[in-house]
Structure 1
Amino acid sequence: MSNKPILGVLLGNSAGVGPELVAKLAVMDYYKDYCRPVIIGDMRMFERGLQVVGGDVPHYTITDLTECDWDKGYPVLDLKDQDPEKVPYGVADVYCGASDLHQLDTAVDLCKAGKIEGFLFGPFHKGAMKMAGMHVESEHTYLAEKFDLTTPFCEVNMMDDLMTVRTTSHIPIS
């Protein structure tokens, strides 16, 4: 595992399914085939995600990536910014949107510092992120700005021999 890239795994929006998706993939031991994951978000939300999916994995809190030891389980860079008792589940909310931005900013900073080689994330809520101060249309544009990207960019999804690119963006159903 030591030759695999260190990737940040962001929990995504606490009011949505992000923490459960991240937890489910951890329970399935999915990440180990591809990377050395560092979960980024509030530890309590990761643990709630584990509870929701009915599973558990060894995990521990870190404050710095030098503390990662994947033999001990999943390192969680605990942002301590989401109390599960205060999350308005299923609703766009500034509290959760602020955490979305915090997760992205943390991952960007870690990438720029060379501490992680990339990151992936559970679903964010663009509306909640805008409530929390995001001034652009999406997390993709937000990331392009954070990385000072001036060339064209887009979302590309790849799996095996299939590659898709987004031609439209989705809007919330409710």
Structure 2
Amino acid sequence: MAKPIIAITMGDPSGIGPEIIAKALALPTVREFCRPVVVGDLDRMRKATAIVGTTAPIRPITAIGDANEEIGVDVVQIGNPLSDLPFGIVSRDGGEAAYRFIVSAVRLAQSKQIDAICTAPISKEALHLAGHRYPGHTELIAHLTNTKEVSMMLASPKLRVVHVTTHVGLIDAIAKIEPGLVFRTIERGRAALIGMMGREPRIGVCAINPHAGESGLFGHDEEAIKIAPAIAEAVGKGYDVSGPLAADTLFFRAVRGDFDLVVAMYHDQGHGPVKVLGIEEGVNVTVGLPIIRTSVDHGTAFDIAGQGKADERSLIYALRQAAILSGKAA
């Protein structure tokens, strides 16, 4: 079986994206499971390679089919060269470049020229300075693919979490949670896990309130009104779903192995445990898209950009997950 072709978007060129790409693509292990192609900027990749001290050649390509099987960094140049853009600085130019990289990669995926997209981190501030008012990658790619609703799933070697709500304030998140959304999130998470694991996943669903509301003692009966009906519907379809469960014990049980997937109700409820376990090995998977997209589970790290200190492990893990989801992984 041919190895999957995975487009890596460079992310914000002033962040650590170029450096983690340079480090990852210098490793022979990456070529064992995919054919990576960078959608970004040649000059930036040359600088990043020099900064991190790798010797992998930088190869400009104009067609995806020209991607080389040998170790190196194959780059599709998008837009004008970014020769004068400094590292570590939030800028409109950086945000515009990051946006164009994403748009180009999505078009490649929609035209079936690539099998998946793996994204390096962007700066939401820079994206907004460039006039693109999206909360992040997830919402932007959903818009570009005309997808009405998607879910964010974070995966690490010990824990997988899919989120009912993400980039909204806590009060707004609680208001947004309702049985239909919870059920659809369970369905999307289940489908993604079946693709990753090849079997029916065991799913634990978080409560909103401490101790799962203690039968209405805490909160305003949100568990019974907003979550329990969705779980009942999922169980009725034969899914292996439990809850609503107190989040403080559910995450412990999931790491112990009782559950394959946790459904978190809001951003920090799910992100905190995954990142405590090790941000360097976490990966973000957008589930519900018509294309495959994974991402590193960290930000642009402007404070260390251009210094060669960035850790590439999350990118390697994200590439591997993209390969698995493509169905072409060895």
- Normalization by structure 2: what TM-score? 0.48
Q: CA deviation at 1:43?
A: 0.7
For residues 134-149 of structure 1, the aligned pairs below 5 Å read: 134-149=132-147
Deviations 1:79-119 (A, max 9, x none): 253423x2132121011111000100000000010001111
C-alpha distance 160-72 of structure 1, shift in aligned 2 (>3 A)? closer
Instruction: Write the letter of the residue equivalent to 2:57.
Output: P
Which residue does 1:15 correspond to in 2? Answer: 14
Deviations 1:123-145 (A, max 9, x none): 11111011112122112101111
Which residue does 1:163 correspond to in 2? Answer: 160
Which residue does 1:87 correspond to in 2? Answer: 85
Instruction: Write the letter of the residue equivalent to 1:146.
Output: L
Instruction: Write the letter of the residue equivalent to 2:153.
Output: V
Task: State the secondary structure of the residue aligned to 1:133.
Answer: coil
Whole-angstrom distance in 2 between the partners of 1:28 and 1:37:
12
Task: State the secondary structure of the residue aligned to 1:39.
Answer: strand
Q: Which runs of 5+ in 2 are unaligned?
A: 164-266, 272-297, 304-330
Whole-angstrom distance in 1 between the partners of 2:156 and 2:28:
18
Whole-angstrom distance in 1 between the partners of 2:302 and 2:53:
27
Whole-angstrom distance in 2 between the partners of 1:173 and 1:67:
32
Which residue does 1:59 correspond to in 2? Answer: 58
Whole-angstrom distance in 1 between the partners of 2:106 and 2:37:
14
Which residue does 2:68 correspond to in 1? Answer: 69
Is 1:24 the counterpart of 2:23? The answer is yes
Considering only CA atoms, is the larger Rg found in Structure 1 or Structure 2?
A: 2
C-alpha distance 5-64 of structure 1, shift in aligned 2 (>3 A)? same
Moved more, 74-83 or 102-111: 74-83
Q: CA deviation at 1:156?
A: 1.6
Whole-angstrom distance in 2 between the partners of 1:42 and 1:135:
23
Instruction: Report the RMSD for the aligned CA atoms in angstroms.
Output: 2.5
Is 1:118 the counterpart of 2:116? The answer is yes
Which residue does 1:38 correspond to in 2? Answer: 37
8 A contact 1:155–1:165 mirrored in 2: yes
8 A contact 1:15–1:90 mirrored in 2: yes
Deviations 1:40-99 (A, max 9, x none): 110111111111111121331111113223247432112253423x21321210111110
Q: Between Structure 1 and Structure 2, which shows a larger proportion of helix residues?
A: 2
Instruction: Write the letter of the residue equivalent to 1:156.
Output: M
Identity of aligned residues (%): 23
- Normalization by structure 1: what TM-score? 0.86
Whole-angstrom distance in 2 between the partners of 1:138 and 1:73:
29
Q: CA deviation at 1:158?
A: 2.3
Q: CA deviation at 1:164?
A: 3.4
